[in-house]
Amino acid sequence: MYESAREHPWVSRAAILLVAAVALTALGLGGTAVGDLLSPVIGLRDPDAPAGFARDLLVGLVLGVAFLINVEILKLLAFRIQVFVVWGELLLLFYGFVLSFDRDFGVIFEVGARSGVSNLYFLITTGAFTTLYVSLIAIAIACVLALLGALGKLSSNGMAYAMATFYISFFRGTPLLLQVVLIYTGFAQLGFVLEAVPAGITALSLCYGAYMAEIFRAGIEGVPPGQREAARALGVPDGLIFRKIIFPQAMRLIVPPTGNQFIAMLKDSSLVSVVGVWELTKTAQVLGKRDFQVFEFLIAAAVLYWIMSVVFELLQARLEAHYGKGQKR
């Protein structure tokens, strides 16, 4: 099949066209603006007429052909340009999808009569800012906990091993939401009255520290034992072996999944809103409830989360390049 498609590129093209046209027809897009635009072609002049199968099929075919032409043009482009164009196209599709909800997104940019600032400004300065600093502090503490947890789990000391495995098991084995509530209300009954933000940061750090301990352990174990042996043979002290030889090499393995965890944490930090922290999700809901336009603000929050994640994806790529330079040839 693969061979024959290669010999006859038109076969695979026809297959793509068929699949795209069938799928697009099945979506039933005859009633959309595209359908209105195309219907005169097959003699349906009344744009208000109910969209039938003929219109669905017509739109499916036209869009299928457009899709095929798009793919053929993309094939001719260089890799980087392909990436940019496809990202742009997908973003446009996403934009169209959101617009199709027919909601009043203008409210996001509306300026409050008395506050003098736009809703988006408030969403960013109160919500996104809180999400960001809570997540940054929590990931920093989580990294320390993860390192301790990983070292404990790799330790030959029974007590250290037991404490580390207990910690990892408990905080991986219970829901983050419960941890937030338990740390906020439970500790208060023991006399430690943590405010909402510190309680939230504590819960996020403990939970993510437990997950990341396993990442750190895998990273440390992933450094070939020959490295340590060679260093020992050269008489390098044990502490120095870990800091200067094992750790930098482990980081290469640790950074990608840790970046992943951080991006997950950006979003999981919304759970700390239960104790009254106005992070991005909570702020979006509060703003939305004011005018009963929650949906619009949730979309705005989603886009802000996404932008923050993209920024950290780029940072992660740079960090990976830094720790990966030893592997470059």
Footprint of other proteins on this chain (CB under 8 A)? 112-115, 117, 122, 159, 181, 184-185, 188-193, 195-196, 273-276, 278, 282, 285-287, 289-292, 294-295
User: Rounded to the nearest 5°, which phi and psi values hold at 32?
Assistant: -85, 180
Which has the closest alpha carbon to 179: 261, 279, 266, 268?
268
Cα–Cα dist 139/199, whole Å: 14
Residue 297 or 305 having the CB closest to other proteins: 297
Which has the closest alpha carbon to 218: 261, 248, 250, 243?
250
Q: How far apart are the first and last CA of the chain?
A: 38
| DSSP state letter for 114 | T
**114, HSE (Cβ side, Cα atoms, 13 Å):** 0
Contact 282/147 with Cβ under 8 angstroms?
Answer: no
Question: Under 8 Å CB-to-CB from 176, ≥6 apart: which residues?
Answer: 203, 204, 207, 268, 271
CA distances for 25 relative to 14, 51, 72, 226, angstroms: 16, 12, 21, 60
User: Rounded to the nearest 5°, which phi and psi values hold at 213?
Assistant: -55, -40
Q: Name the token pair of 309.
A: 């994640």
User: Rounded to the nearest 5°, which phi and psi values hold at 277?
Assistant: -85, 130
Print the SS3 string covering 158-197.
HHHHHHHHHHHHHHHHCCHHHHHHHHHHHHHHCCCCCCHH
Contact 20/57 with Cβ under 8 angstroms?
Answer: no
